[in-house]
Amino acid sequence: MFLVIFGLAVAVAFFFYLKWETSLYVRTIDLIPGPPKVPLFGNALLIPLDTYGSLQKISVEWPNKYGHFYRGWFGFKGYIDISCPLLVEEILSSQRFIDKGSDYDMLIPWLGEGLLTASGNMWRKRRRLLTPAFHFQILDNFFDTFNKSADILCQQFDATQSDDKEIDVFPYLKRCTLDIICEATMGIQVNAQQQDSEYLYAYFVSIWSLLPRWMYFMTKKGKEYQKYLKIIHDFTSKVIRDRKREIELEEAVNESKDEQDAARESEFTPKKRRAFLDLMLIAAKEGNLTDVDIRNEVDTFMFEGHDTTACAAVWFLYCMATHPDRQELVRKELDDVFGDSQRPCTIEDATKLKYLECCIKETLRLYPSVPHIKRFNTEDYVLSNGYKIPAGASYSIHIYALHRNEQLFPDPLAFNPERFQIDESAGRHPFAFVPFSAGPRNCIGQRFAMYEEKVIFSTLLRRFRFTYDMEKHGPALACADMLLKPHHEMPLNITRLVRD
């Protein structure tokens, strides 16, 4: 009896599979070149399970074999994989492709419908509401935070100094960027570089390691994931409640003052720097945001502004350590701007650091923090290359492959910051380099991130020299899940500079 039922189940499943396989959706996508697929699994069985191997397969091997426009199948879901600038521009610059689809659903329990995961009109409203928080004049206010955290990072590196001792710098950089984003986003100091707490453990260690590939909330790990999510959400909610009460109290006090007192206080009392949370609470009065909406945006800023910057930083130090000639050129520029001074970096200083910026951009070309992004096709669409893409398919923009396209960047594996100097970059397609995405859904915090990195790197390279033992470790390998991280540790030798 069991065999009969099993046989019927297999027959029914096979019938529906054949029906799906011959559907217009599948036949349309299969007109695009791509790797052979296996029934039920698509191309999934061809992709290595490890994150280094999977990156090499989908962003190096397949673009080389099938071109910078190919199709892939993950189970029953079709993906259009793109790494040529013309099509990248067509997708990213269009309001038609604002939705991200189900690929980001695993983040919703953590981030809710924040700026990263929201779609359609909700995303448009939030983007309009939050864009003023990243105005140039507001970003200037965060340089004190950048400099303070960079100084603490230097103290941490100093404390580890010993002869011939290698340091895995990635954990230090993650704690530094977490300090910065907590203070910039919520206006609080968590002192991640100097102490631990339940919140830091939940955020810094557990959430990323437990981030579910499937919704497995009934399993032991799933329940552990929910536990740490609750710690993070409760912490953020408390910060929001406390800050709302503080703002209400400040407003009540201000209303009780007469105009003369208020003018006198305004003249002699320095203005308090506002965190992004403060700006959101002010905007919320006009934008009808609930506390949960605000929490989602705060958690989104924390998510997008912490590990992404730490990943960029660890690859930058690796590139500096493996290219000492470029490191010295950066240091020469720092000497020109700062002299022998260890003073804080100002926004005026940051704008002068042109070669440092070229090195940051070249690092992001080789090692984009987000190696691929997704967009969802909500309706049938014919691309400019003539291929029809059916509704329900997803576009996968392979930034990693795009940035290593030798037609766009000759000798693409070489670290060559000069390619981002004005003369060298003239005529390059504007969508050939998109480390922060591009178009209407580009990264809202990209200027914040660039200033943050300039302050951290200008502080570190004025005090330390970084080297990497290539003979001992070999080239560092990159692995990609959501972010592009070192496959193993990033052991660097750090030497204090001796100034004459």
In this structure, what token pair is assigned to residue 161? 């100094």
**Burial of 207 from C-beta contacts in 10 A (0-12 / 13-18 / 19+):** middle
Cα separation, 61 vs 57, in Å, equals 5
Per-residue DSSP letters for 5-35?
HHHHHHHHHHHHHHHHHTSHHHHHHTTS---
Sheet containing 464-467: give its strands across: 166-168, 491-496, 464-467
Check the CA dihedral 8-14-19-25 and report its sign.
positive
398-to-7, 315, 395 alpha-carbon distances in Å: 42, 19, 9
- Residue 486 host element (H or E): strand 484-486
Residues near 484 by beta carbon (within 8 Å), at least 6 away in sequence: 55, 311, 315, 367, 368, 369, 370, 371, 400, 478
Cα separation, 174 vs 464, in Å, equals 19
Cα separation, 485 vs 414, in Å, equals 19
Cα separation, 419 vs 359, in Å, equals 10
In this structure, what token pair is assigned to residue 190? 């968590």
Residues near 166 by beta carbon (within 8 Å), at least 6 away in sequence: 469, 491, 492, 493
Residue 84 marked ligand-binding: no
Asked whether the beta carbons of 92 and 434 are under 8 A apart, the reply is yes
- CA geometry: angle 52, 53, 57, nearest 5 deg: 120
Cα separation, 62 vs 34, in Å, equals 8
In this structure, what token pair is assigned to residue 289? 């945001």
In this structure, what token pair is assigned to residue 404? 């290593």
Cα separation, 333 vs 391, in Å, equals 51
Around 79, how many Cα atoms within 13 Å sit in the side-chain half-sphere? Answer: 24
3-state secondary structure of 436: coil
3-state secondary structure of 378: coil
Asked whether the beta carbons of 152 and 487 are under 8 A apart, the reply is no
Cα separation, 101 vs 99, in Å, equals 6
Q: Which residues make up each annotated binding site for heme?
A: 443
Q: Which residues make up each annotated binding site?
A: 443
